[in-house]
Structure 1
């Protein structure tokens, strides 16, 4: 009976805490929106640049210049869909192809189709399709997690995706004893103008995995082709632990990053390696969920994964045999990801992109210790870099094979979600000025999925953006910028 007396007090405490949290968040949104409301949608990603430049001039004596350009590709409640999720991008022969789930409702389990918009590079200008193209649909069904990749040897663009029963949620999938889904693959050899009939690769991938997966999710984001020609498609899968001492997720399952590989240009596929079970120094399981993969030097792959524990940053695992096996995951403290307080799972998807290190690497303040280091690709990483909620879409750089990462360059201060990175430099272009990059990402003022935007940038922008982000943090701390 005594405990009943405390229930009204507990309700008051919880309500007060909630109201204070809402007030703080509303104040934060209002302060940043004031800075953005005079900018056009296509320039929103660099809304605070003038403030940074003016502040830098007065405090440091020099301005910080960025060369980014941006364009909004998909908007919620438009072109027949309620929302667009899980953007993924590839580039080939002066053409960008951006894919999303076009959802009829806002829930993950909604009926959805795979949609695409193409961008066309002409010199340094990019023109985008005005309307979307539906590249895959099955009436009344959920098509999810588009994963595009390019086979440069055959000039073929592939897209893999999940086929799921609409209305079935993640907990319902994980309660099953066996996967109930299909993995389909379509391809185009004319830069996305036309697409093949889907090829079902479920039996040769999920059907050959032991233990049997309970559920599998491709990607999200782009997959890769290795220098050897091998195609590597990343994802994650759950399986049920039986008679095990492992700490488990929902329905007694554990989650593992995994790759599927093809050594004959996508004709046949097989399971590659998966990230094994591991625990952190606090005894918590490291569940490696949604994953991105990048090729490093010497046939090495790095798989970078979202984790499901609120106490953990992102995790990485290495394969030294081209993806046939992976070592234990290691938590990367620099790669902060959101706790997603109140959501089903912690963390958020992130993207990695490997590229050849520039010849003038000393310009970027990097120290190379040996000749072999010069062969190590550099890697970009993007995600919402806040430890609590999905805000601060940011880009980081690693110059040592994903061992260490730069401070973040925050490209969007407000709500943000999934993203994907792409390189589109063309050394044969007479106007070639070095590698250029693009990022496609979910964003909004309050809702993380209001818009899917695309932004171009260079390595100089990353370097200067990191400086600008650090400066802005210092100015806010000193109350120079409200």
Structure 2
């Protein structure tokens, strides 16, 4: 079996480097320009009219343009209020970035949780996002105190010109959300298009929800035990959607939340999810689907080899190319803190992971992974010097293997 490792250029002082990047907003590189760059900062808190940028998601278009989505939070760092979905485009693999675009304007309400995917049949960028009134909170939604119009809803947009322009958000809540679900979030992070088997071309979007408590229950519905992960899928390029696999155990032991998905080389789907304060030991859960995301092969269970990851969103990516491409996972690596972003690798289809590299010892939170051709991978992640939400940084990592292949 070929051994694949991920190497990183020497990191000369995490705090100093992050400060320099935040100040310039440009790429840090051995050479000042071009594709040899190591890191760049597409989003810095306090710029372009936004207090904070959060919830990164990234994909590469058919033309090779890298798209970096985020939430632009206008009034503060909180999860509710006036929030837009924003985008910056990179023509050179994340070394430099074009101007900020507003893809979905909240206009005082909350739009977020971008989950982009490129439709392999048409090349269109398909983007799912979530919505709620900017005047309500997640706690109110989970308690069932909010009308359907002001509660969480699901929207889709598309771009046929390499991410330069997007259609207006189209409401698909009736297709994507069950009537008894309260909280709802797409992703966060990229979605996938299937490459193998009878469902080749299917778009699969990982998502999560909270359910109403059983009838007659005295429970408020706000406990984490009512969280669950699910998947949406489309077989027509995003025109219509169906609810696929649903984690609906709601037993409090494993509370799947903020899920991500990857397609393994054998065609199975690997799902990873944050465990939202379940009673089982460990903070990461996973499972598989053998039918393109329509059902789960087993309930979500704790993944013990990712015990270093705290309660936070994480990203997963199946590399392609080479004889034995690994599955990658990205997230913070201190169990009790959002800190020290790292990458793990698995050569067993997610059965076990080993840590490959720690990017820094700085604060860090949400992330998303993207492959950059045959010899590099990129990670778009929240980080900073004194807190994890000061920047959204893009890091490029070379992949070592035979002839430079992953």
Normalised-by-shorter TM-score class: 0.7 to 0.9
Distance 2:140 2:220 in 1: 16
Query: Does the 8 A contact of 2:211 with 2:221 survive in 1?
Result: no
CA apart distance, 1:337: 5.2
Deviations 1:79-119 (A, max 9, x none): 00000000100102220010110001211112110111000
CA apart distance, 1:357: 5.0
1:144 aligns with 2:84: no
Q: With the length of structure 1 as denominator, give the TM-score of the two structures.
A: 0.71
- Which structure has more strand as a fraction of its residues? 2
Query: Does the 8 A contact of 2:329 with 2:343 survive in 1?
Result: yes
1:196 aligns with 2:170: no
Which residue of 235, 246, 249 corresponds with 1:274?
A: 246
1:332 aligns with 2:303: yes
Report the counterpart of residue 443 of structure 1 in structure 2. 383
Distance 2:17 2:287 in 1: 44
1:37 counterpart SS class: helix
Distance 1:251 1:36 in 2: 37
1:385 counterpart SS class: strand
2:354 counterpart SS class: coil
Report the counterpart of residue 234 of structure 2 in structure 1. 262
Query: Does the 8 A contact of 1:241 with 1:253 survive in 2?
Result: no
- Which structure has more helix as a fraction of its residues? 1
Deviations 1:255-283 (A, max 9, x none): 1111000011111001001124276xxxx
1:204 counterpart SS class: helix
- Relative to structure 2, which stretch is displaced further, 328-337 or 69-78? 328-337
Which residue of 64, 73, 77 corresponds with 2:42?
A: 73
Which residue of 198, 209, 213 corresponds with 1:241?
A: 213
Deviations 1:362-393 (A, max 9, x none): xxxxxxxxxxxx5xx52111001111010010
Distance 1:320 1:248 in 2: 35
Contiguous gaps of at least 5 residues in structure 1? 1-31, 45-66, 340-346, 360-373, 426-433, 462-482
Report the counterpart of residue 386 of structure 1 in structure 2. 334
Contiguous gaps of at least 5 residues in structure 2? 1-10, 24-35, 402-406
Report the counterpart of residue 41 of structure 1 in structure 2. 20
1:417 counterpart SS class: strand
Query: Does the 8 A contact of 1:70 with 1:455 survive in 2?
Result: yes
Deviations 1:336-382 (A, max 9, x none): 3555xxxxxxx1000001122524xxxxxxxxxxxxxx5xx521110
Report the counterpart of residue 160 of structure 1 in structure 2. 128
Report the counterpart of residue 27 of structure 2 in structure 1. none
Compare CA radii of gyration and give the structure with the larger one.
1
Aligned length: 366
Distance 2:192 2:47 in 1: 31
CA apart distance, 1:138: 3.4
Distance 1:96 1:270 in 2: 28
Change (3 A) 1:387 1:329: same
CA apart distance, 1:408: 4.3
Change (3 A) 1:164 1:444: same
Distance 1:38 1:253 in 2: 41
Deviations 1:179-221 (A, max 9, x none): 5232111111111111112221111111xx3x62111110000
Deviations 1:305-330 (A, max 9, x none): 00112742200011111111112112
Report the counterpart of residue 304 of structure 1 in structure 2. 272
Structure possessing the higher relative contact order (Cα contacts under 8 Å, 6 or more residues apart)? 2
Distance 1:410 1:315 in 2: 21
Query: Does the 8 A contact of 2:14 with 2:362 survive in 1?
Result: no
Q: With the length of structure 2 as denominator, give the TM-score of the two structures.
A: 0.83
Report the counterpart of residue 286 of structure 2 in structure 1. 316
Report the counterpart of residue 65 of structure 2 in structure 1. 95
